[in-house]
A and B are shown apart, each in its own frame.
Chain A
Amino acid sequence: MTGVAGTTSGAAERFWGVARAVAWRSTHNFVTNPALFLPAMIFPLFFFGAFAGGLSGIDSSPGFDYPNGYTAFEFGFVLIQASAFGGVFTGFGIARDFESGFGRRLMLAAPNRLGILGGYAIAGLTRALMVDALLFALALLVGMNLSSNAAELLALLGLALVVNIGIAMWAAGIALRFRSIQAGPLMQTPVFLILFLTPVYVPQDLLASWVEKVSAVNPISPIVESSRNLIAGSFDGLLLAFLCGGGLILLFGIWAVSGMRRAEAAGG
């Protein structure tokens, strides 16, 4: 019994040892390289400006009944989008590391290879936290109407981070299979697609035609809608949102781990 516990504890130690080192390296690279840092920080702000500013007339259309105004309505989407793209950018880093041969050396050196994946995921979370904090600051600066209490804000952040991990695992699965940065469009294009098939501009009830049908079964839609509810001070739909987010992590976690096995089989 002690032996089993000792083995488990040793495996966990090896996992966290590798994860910590990979996370530190990726975060350090991100923070110290303006070419990586600036686009990740700037693009959510641009999207927020474009959606909340350019389409703000929509809040006066019949049936639009979101109580906190269009800026808050779009903030809910942009926060989730920014977190999702934090995950995609994590995949870019993995692809580049494996393309340059660094991934192969990493696999040779790591006593627990899943720790490599864990490390990239932690780095992705760190990035997402930075971007989300900046986005929050900007939204409050432009006068976004926020009705959340501390628990709701925490839940909102939790949702954003769950999406970040899920999408990071998706991108990692692609990166580990192709092991080339040329697979970048394959990482980010489906994420754009699934995000734009949620109620981006108007609530679900106001969507029309085929987009409404696709949006109704899109697992990201409950997450976007719940994030908007949390901003408006309501926990409505939160359980479903976390279930969808958890499903994404589970599904894409398996995808990423099998990608790691492929990379191992290919020799990195």
Chain B
Amino acid sequence: MSAQLDSIYEVARRSFLRAIRQPAAFVPAIVFPLFLVAVNSAGLDAATDLPGFPTDSYVTFALAIPFIQGGTFALLNTGTDVSTDVETGFMNRLAMTPLGGPSLLAGMLGGAMAIAVIQTVFYIAIGFVVGADFAAGIGGIPLLFLLSLTISFAFSCIGTFTALRLGNSEAMQSMFPVFFVFLFFSSMAMPRDLIVQDWFRTVATINPLSYLIEGIRSFYVTGIDGEALALAFGISALLIAVFLSLAAASLRTTLVRT
């Protein structure tokens, strides 16, 4: 058991070090989501005048975006690392060691989670720096932290599965705009009940990202909201269960094939 934990630790350490030694991958993952908040806040500030808009500060409303967007970067970076490992034959070499598939997955995702911790601390701090409201109070911070990491873990599982299926780092990078656009089909920019177009409101209602955003947003806008949090944690847990199982199955195939 101890040897297994040591192996997981080493794979996670490698994954983390590889990420932070590549500023070209790591820095955009932190900076770009904040930029999107800045642009949306500048362009859509007038939306706070709409009757029924839940806050008079668009920045407060928009601060949920970086947490989710950070998750999409976790997906991209984890996926790219995993697909590079497949391409370069690192997976082949690991297959010849006693390290099992679940330990390998745990290690790869552990590295992504270490990055997610840094992202989450940064985003929470930025919220306070720009003077956004935080309706949940100081007591809500640990819960926000937990939800943010759960979401990042779910996205990393999606990235790992996609990478194992594609086995192609170029294709993995090309998937980013496809995942990114799902944010625009959600309640990212407007509360769902204020979206004018019926079809768009329907898509935003079906889109699980809306519920993840609304879960994070509740900490800033309404305070601890049991329903929003149950949905956000529930959907994250479902994504983890589905994509972790799929990733484990794909990893078995990859290791056998190699």
Instruction: List the A side residues contacting B28 at CB < 8 Å.
Output: 185-186, 189
On whether A39 and B174 interact (CB within 8 A), knowing A33-B168, A196-B39, A209-B42, the answer reads yes
Interface of B is mostly: helix
Q: Is there an interface contact between A193 and B35, defined as CB atoms closer than 8 Å?
A: yes
- CB within 8 Å of B: which of A197-244? 197, 200-202, 207-211
The 4 closest A-B pairs by CB, nearest first: A35-B171, A184-B173, A50-B184, A189-B28
What would be 10 A-B contacts, judged by CB atoms less than 8 Å apart? A35-B168, A46-B178, A46-B184, A50-B181, A56-B197, A184-B80, A185-B25, A202-B43, A208-B45, A209-B42
Interface of A is mostly: helix
Q: What's the nearest-Cβ distance from chain A to residue B53, in Å?
A: 14
Determine if B138 is an interface residue (Cβ-Cβ < 8 Å): no
What number of A-B contacts does a CB cutoff of 8 Å give?
128
Q: Is the CB of A182 within 8 A of B84?
A: yes
Contact check, B197 vs A57: say whether CB atoms are below 8 A apart.
yes
The reply to whether the CB of B32 lies closer than 8 angstroms to some CB of chain A is: yes
Shortest Cβ distance from B182 into A: residue: A46
- Of the 9-residue stretches A93-101, A157-165, A251-259, which lies at the interface with chain B? A93-101
* Alpha-carbon distance A196/B195, docked complex (angstroms): 21
CA distance A118 to B43 in the complex (A): 39
The answer to whether A92 and B24 touch (CB under 8 A), given A46-B185, A50-B181, A207-B43, is: no
Cα–Cα distance between A37 and B255 once the two chains are bound (Å): 26
Binding site for B on A (CB under 8 A): 33, 35-36, 39-40, 42-43, 46-47, 49-51, 53-54, 56-57, 85, 89, 92-93, 95-96, 99-100, 174, 178, 180-186, 188-189, 192-193, 196-197, 200-202, 207-211
Interface magnitude class on chain B:
35 or more
Determine whether the beta carbon of A85 is less than 8 Å from that of B177. yes
Instruction: Pick the contact of B184: A51, A56, A188, A189 (CB < 8 A).
Output: A51
Provide the residues of chain A in CB contact with B32, threshold 8 Å.
185, 189, 192-193
Within 8 A of A (CB), among B1-47: 22, 24-25, 27-29, 31-32, 35-36, 39, 42-43, 45-46
Known: A35-B166, A54-B200, A209-B45. A185 touches B184 (CB 8 A): no
CA distance A208 to B178 in the complex (A): 29
**Are A99 and B168 in contact (CB-based, < 8 A)?**
no
Q: Given A182-B25, A184-B25, does the pair A43, B177 have CB atoms closer than 8 Å?
A: yes
**Measured CA separation A85–B173 after assembly (Å):** 12
B118 within 8 A of A: no
Do residues B22 and A36 form an inter-chain contact, with CB atoms below 8 A? no
- How far is A43 from B174 in the complex, measured between Cα atoms in Å? 9
Indicate if the CB atoms of A197 and B84 lie closer than 8 Å. Answer: no
Taking a contact as CB atoms under 8 Å apart, the answer to whether B45 and A92 are in contact is no
Quick check: is B76 within 8 A (CB to CB) of the other chain?
A: yes
CA of A188 to CA of B178, assembled, Å:
13
B181→A182 contact, CB < 8 A: no
Q: A185-B25, A186-B28 are in contact. Are A211 and B195 (CB under 8 A)?
A: no
Please name the residue on chain B nearest to A178 by beta carbon. B24
B42 near A57 with CB under 8 A, answer no
Decide: B25 and A92 in contact? CB cutoff 8 A. Answer: no
Contact with A along B196-213 (1 / 0, CB 8 A): 110110001000000000
B106 at the interface (CB under 8 A from A): no
Would you call B35 and A42 a contact (CB within 8 A)?
Answer: no
Establish whether residues B42 and A100, one from each chain, have CB atoms under 8 Å apart when the complex forms.
Answer: no
Instruction: Give Cα A100–Cα B87 distance, bound, in whole angstroms.
Output: 8
The contact of A46 among B35, B87, B181, B200, by CB within 8 Å, is B181
Residue in B43, B73, B81 whose CB lies within 8 Å of A211: B43
